[in-house]
Amino acid sequence: MSSSSKQTIEFFESLGILSKPSIQDNDNWYFARLARSHYEDRKLDDLIDPDLRKQMNLQSLEIFAETAYYCIKERWLQRLDMNQVLSKLEKALELQHKFEHPEATSASNPLKGKSFDHLRYRLHDIELATNNFSKKYRIGSGGFGEVYKAKLKHLDEINSLAIKEKAKAKISNKVSTVAIKRIFSRNDEQGEQGFISEIEMLSKCKHPNIVSLHGFCDEGKQMILVYEYVSNGSLADYLENIDRMTSLTWAQRVQICLDIAHGLKYLHTGIEDKQSIIHRDIKSANILLDHEWVAKLADFGLSKLHAPSQQRSTVVTKNIAGTEVYLDPEYMSTGKLKAKSDVYSFGVVLFEIMCGKLAYDKAYGQKGLPTIARESFIAKTLNNLVDPKIIEADEIISMLTGGVDQDSLDTFAKVAYECLAETQVERPTMEVVIKELQKALNFQVNNKERLRISLKAIKLGTQNFSDSNCIGEERFWKLYKGEVINANGRTAIIAKRWNRKSGQGHNQLLREFDILSRYNHKNIIGLVGYCKEMDENIIVYENASNGTLDKHLGDPSLTWIKRLKICIDVASGLEFLHDGGVDKSDCMIHRDIKSSSILLDGDWNAKIANFELSCNERVSESAEHVDDNASDSLGNIAPKYQIDNSLTRISIGFVYPKYQIKSSLTRFSDIYSLGVILIEMLYGRSAWPKSIKDDPQSLGHLAIRDYDEKKSLDKIIFEGIKGQFVTQSMTEFVDIAVQCLKLPQQTSAYEVIKHVKKALAWGEECKDKSQSLGPLAVRHYNEKGSLDEMIFEGIKQQISPQSLTPFLDIAIGCLHDDRRTNPIDASDLVNYLEKAIRFQDDLETWGPRLPMDYKEIIQASRNPKIIDSVHMKKDVYTMLSKGVILQDGKTFFSIGSNGEGNELISARMFSYKHRNSHKWRSVQRSRFGKPAEMLHISKLKIKIKITTRLLSPGVNYGAYLIFNFSDSNYRSNPLYVNLKYKMGGENLNAYFAKWKDSDWRAIELYRFYSNKKDIDFEVLLESFSRYHCGNGSIYVEGIEFRVIDNVQNKDIEQVQQLLKSDSNIKFEHLLSQNEVNRKEHLMLSATEVLYDSSNVKHFHLHPSTESRFQEVIELLPQQVFRIKCKIENKMLSQDTEYLCYLVFKLSDKCVGLHCPVRVRDLRKSNRYNKKTEIVYFRSPSPWNLHENNSIPKQREDGWMEVKVWKFKSSGDDSYDQPRDGSIPVNLKLITYEGTMSGLIVCGMEFRPYIVCGVDGV
């Protein structure tokens, strides 16, 4: 027995745990295992002498037991040295002495001698300030003590580090309001320990998001802390009070979360002497809000000061402290306290703030908020939990843009969910959390603030709404031109101001704002912003300096060509509305299309405005009659939108006649109104001028009547445009205008655009020219060398330029005047068209498989001119599939089968800790010429910190190290190499390398989803397994980011009902039958299947109440074990394939079995069967899971299982043929590294495998 073991026994003997005779003579490590297991299970009290336990101080015992535990660690590197042991025992003795001699403790104050005197208050001063702790000054109380609000003198700036350096300097004081916490005395010392801890912690902290400690008082038995006064109370106060929480907008809530995160980052990343603090009690009650809503962390009584030298930044404690619903589940189950324990608690607070309720609110039942939040996030139903008050916090933004910006909410929810990961290693750092919360805040603030314009700015820009600036008006509003000042200087705008007395402005502004913020198009007036101040309702448009269209109808300077272009603009804007905008959602009906609703900019481009009466088509159709008293929230209109259409206010003369019958408007009503505008443009006057307001016949009716009678509208054509058009142009225009009036149900805005464009083409190109399309095309081609302006817009983007050239050549050749003397041969026509088809087919087949920026990528390559010699997309695809070196010589780019970008970055971009650890070797087969030869593969120390530039968004990628051995003897595929590396502060392993091609191997390090081209990637490569990879060198070519198939490994589903065995029945195997297909399942016990199971050197037999068998077997340290048994053929269904599962558990003290395990079938000669199955007893990372690997899964009976073998009950394979009525099983399981100690085997189950059925897999 080692000296450390003897010392440990003496340690625990001193606790009265056992006497020397109780240690088994033949097992020197028996007691060490016993003590370790009880300590790890937190059951050490079961071993301690009860009388002795009563005498112990809890903190002293924890330190003593922890010291002993680390002395008996299995690995000597994990054990303490004697200096550490001495230091810890002295601390335990000091605590025990204080516990046994409290009078000595009070006499020798622990806060003295620690430079805290500058923080000490006299009790007299505090009693004077609080009128002897009068109830009048008390602002809170609880189990810990009471809090008072008073005025006290304190240091102007508390900075203990600076004060230590300026001990003799004069320090200024000031009087201000403070919070005074008077802590109750307790028998268990926890109050005193928390008091001292808080002083020690807060005296080291100076941060705007951590509450400041002004001082303390410890006279007599008093424990008083004096803090800065934080006027708005705790976050919990707001979560408990719905009315108070309502006042916090979403942006304010996210900012509060950012404040907390900054405070936590400060604690976690080191303060004085680079120490860090784990708060251990993050919850909404411990987050205070000052008068400007700045959040501050408070209550450090449970905090742990953490020295940077402590291994892996982990504190192991038996005393679990904190508030249960906020506690890190891993900390609760293992006692391991990390900074990421605070991250979990903070995640709970994030969801509290988003949901508007405390985590333990009764609405969440027994599950609690963390569990419900995780489930809702996975099920994508998180919106059901969002506090509805957030939506109502800002009426404009809430109603029109959904309140919380969706990107903001999604970003916030995602990082909150990640904080609630079950294990500490999966949670983000506070630095990452801050980055994501800032992103969420930016989404929200940018969405809202960029659109708000002050009333002062609008008044100034419109000369206080001067009549001279008014450019249009309707019953309830006026339009004013003006200017506002922004970051780019002065911007010309149009302000639409509703009449404050009408009562219509609020709802109409909301509706118009909503539509303009969602429907962004060049022919729809652009939204600049809004103003809601002092009962004003103003929406601000982009500038339209030429005012409304109705003001120009009778202006002869508005030529026929201009009028046609304006009509095309109006129809294009209307088409965009009717098609549902960019996302093709619901059809939007304008419902008030008229010339005064069309604004004209300085270039006479038309833009549709005035959307206060608009709604989507489903709303309009559902409202058979809608008037001023219409109800709220119809259809998809946001809450509080009133369909206050007052459709009787819509300009008569523009209204579709059927509305008068049905009292509802549809898209056809808009088409009719568009037809009226077309007629107005022809007529040169408004459809319903004041001079004929008593005439029952509107312009639309008159136009239809004239057209029906005379098949023309010559009578009403405006004199100012006569002589500016040709007959064909006018005919196209009039036909579509009348069709809009007579048959709006059969007409679309798209058709209007098409016909008016034809009218425009005739008007621009055919004056005094041949009146047919052929001559026009020839002339256009001869003048401009192309027909781009004449090609139908609907197909223009689909045509390959290489296809269009031969097509136009042959088409124009057929139209030339000399075609009679030089006719086009039919074979030439076929050849040209086949060439055009070949190029077009190439574009449509291979074009989608190329990156959109492939030309830029080739231009950035070392041979950019190659693009000039490659004309077919297929050739480009082939070239990029093979890959190209970029000009920097350090990046190799290639594409996958669907055109996704792969990026290989040279090893020259890596950092090497040891200068002499590598050499640059010329290797002919390397894409970079000279890869790095690493001379010591067990000491790599390669730091990779790079940013990708060419990855495809929306694709799953794997990061692969590309390397090969200098020794050609390593030919296995896959090859076990066990590459150890660090990433994101975590230690990781990649086990297998595969051949990428004939020259290089690839080992996957990580998987990620790419949502952008530029991805930051950082990893530290440490070592390959020396045992499996030898001592030779390796060549490292680089790191490759390559597309992977989005395939998830699905667990094997178990459908048979497990039978529960009676503990009184003694038998060695059980049989069950599937209810569906009667295929039989067989399970054998561990004693039946494990070879040499009675060997106590290799196995330990345990009685079990959790297993269906009376005993299970635990493996002792060994790298190999065998499964050898026989299966009676009569117990199986005939001619059936069976899967064999090892049923197991890992003991609490099992620290191994992270690496894979090989399974060999010993029944077959290696000459015939060299294939080895790979199984895992712990779930591996995705990049370690390869084809045909078996992974463990949870069973319904609480055990785990993993597939290790398969066979056929009778069939083709001679080795599966029954012999002597049974099938032999002979398997050898070998771990690649470490031992299989702690593997507990229950038995082996054999289940039939039916591919399309319900059994097996």
> Is pLDDT of 1115 > 90?
yes
Mean pLDDT for the stretch of residues 659-670: 66
Q: Which two tokens stand for residue 677?
A: 């505008």
Closest Cα partner for 571 from 607, 616, 545, 604?
Answer: 607
Edge to edge, the sheet with strand 1120-1128 lists 1120-1128, 1222-1231, 1157-1161, 1173-1175
Q: What are the structural domain ranges in the chain?
A: 3-106, 111-229, 230-449, 455-765, 791-846, 880-1043, 1069-1248
Among 186-190, 472-476, 540-544, 562-566, which stretch is predicted with the lowest mean pLDDT? 186-190
Does the pLDDT of residue 504 top 90, yes or no?
A: no
The CB density around residue 293, as the number of other CB atoms within 10 Å, is 14
For residue 362, give both structure tokens: 């009764």
The reply to whether CATH 1.20.58.340 applies to domain 230-449 is no
**Contact between 130 and 150 (Cβ < 8 Å):** yes
- Of 1076, 1072, 996, 1078, the closest CA to residue 1039 belongs to 996
- Exposure of 395 by Cβ count < 10 A (0-12 exposed, 13-18 middle, 19+ buried)? middle
Cβ atoms within 10 Å of 672's Cβ, excluding its own? 26
d(CA 820, CA 1155): 83
pLDDT digits (tens, 9 = 90+) for 52-90: 877 888 878 888 888 888 888 877 767 788 878 888 888
646 Cβ contact partners less than 8 Å away, ≥ 6 residues apart = 504, 613, 627, 628
CB contact at 8 A, 611 and 512:
yes
- Residue of 979, 889, 990 whose CA lies nearest to 934: 979
Are domains 111-229 and 880-1043 of this chain identical in fold? no
Of 261 and 503, the structure prediction assigns the larger pLDDT to 261
**What is the C-alpha separation between 864 and 917, in angstroms, rounded?**
36
The candidate with the shortest Cα–Cα distance to 776, out of 723, 819, 812, 823, is: 812
More confident residue, 99 or 368: 368
Distance CA 599, CA 422 (A): 58
Q: C-alpha distances in angstroms, 881 versus 410, 884, 894? A: 36, 9, 5
Please tell me the predicted confidence (pLDDT) of residue 10. Answer: 55
b/e map 706-718, b = 16+ CB within 10 Å: bbeeeeebeebbb
Q: What is the band of 251 on the pLDDT scale with cuts at 50, 70, 90?
A: confident
**Adjacent-strand bridge partners of 1143:** 1201, 1243
d(CA 417, CA 461): 47
Specify the pLDDT at position 686. Answer: 85
Reading the block at residue 192, the tokens are 């005193």
For range 1158-1163, the mean pLDDT: 87
Q: Which two tokens stand for residue 600?
A: 């004209």
Q: Given this model, what pLDDT does residue 414 score?
A: 95
Average pLDDT over residues 270-296: 84
Query: Please, which contacts does 804-813 make with residues 24 or more away whose CB atoms are closer than 8 Å?
Result: 804/836, 806/832, 806/833, 806/835, 806/836, 806/839, 807/832, 807/833, 807/836, 808/781, 811/777, 812/777, 812/778, 812/781
Candidate CATH numbers 2.30.42.10, 3.40.50.300, 2.60.120.260, 3.40.640.10; the one for domain 880-1043: 2.60.120.260
Name the residue with higher pLDDT: 1141 or 491.
1141
Q: Is 439 part of any known ligand binding site?
A: no
Residue 235's pLDDT is 92
Place of tokens 């968004």: 953
Helix extents (H) in 55-178 = 58-71, 82-100, 102-107, 123-129, 160-165
Higher pLDDT, 642 or 448: 448
pLDDT value at position 672? 92
**What does the pLDDT average to over 244-254?**
77
What percentage of residues in the chain have a pLDDT greater than 70?
A: 79
Please give the C-alpha separations between residue 660 and each of 611, 653, 1109, 1142, in angstroms, as whole numbers. Answer: 21, 12, 84, 79
Q: Is the pLDDT of residue 166 over 50?
A: no
Which class does domain 455-765 fall in? Answer: mainly alpha
End-to-end CA distance of the chain: 50
Minimum mean pLDDT among 633-642, 811-820, 1162-1171: which range?
Answer: 633-642
- Element spanning 261, H or E: helix 250-268
Contacts (Cβ under 8 Å, ≥6 apart) of 840: 799, 800, 803
Whether the per-residue pLDDT at 127 is higher than 90: the answer is yes
pLDDT band for position 604 (cuts 50, 70, 90): very high
Q: How sure is the predictor about 605, in pLDDT bands with cuts at 50, 70 and 90? A: very high
Is residue 896 within 8 A of residue 902, CB to CB? The reply is yes
**CATH for 1069-1248?**
2.60.120.260
Tell me the per-residue pLDDT of 914-942, one tens digit each, with 9 for 90 and over: 878 889 988 878 888 889 999 888 889 99
Return the CATH architecture of domain 111-229. Answer: 2-Layer Sandwich (3.30)
Number of helices and strands in the chain (H, E): 37, 45
Taking residue 146's Cβ as centre, other Cβ atoms within 10 Å add up to 18
Residues linked to residue 496 through DSSP beta bridges, in sequence order: 479, 539
Whether 12 and 68 have beta carbons less than 8 Å apart is answered as yes
**DSSP labels for 60-96?**
HHHHHHHHHHHHT-SSGGGSPPHHHHHHHHHHHHHHH
Residue 1049 Cα distances to 372, 384, 1159, 1191, 1213, angstroms: 26, 31, 20, 9, 29
Tokens representing residue 1047 in the block: 């395939």
**Averaged pLDDT score across all residues of the chain:** 79
Per-residue buried b or exposed e for 235-259, using 16+ beta carbons within 10 Å of the residue's own CB: bbbbbeeeeebbebbbbbbbbbbbb
Query: For residue range 1019-1050, what is the model confidence (pLDDT) as tens digits?
Result: 999 999 888 888 889 999 999 999 987 544 33
390-399, 674-683, 1116-1125, 1239-1248: least confident range? 390-399
Q: What is the DSSP string of 493-556?
A: EEEEEE-TTTS-HHHHHHHHHHHHHH---TTBPPEEEEE--TT--EEEEEP-TT-BGGGTTT-T
DSSP structure class, residue 601: -
Summarize the confidence of residues 158-178 as an average pLDDT. 53
Strand partners, 1113: 1101, 1241
Per-residue pLDDT at 341 exceeds 90: yes
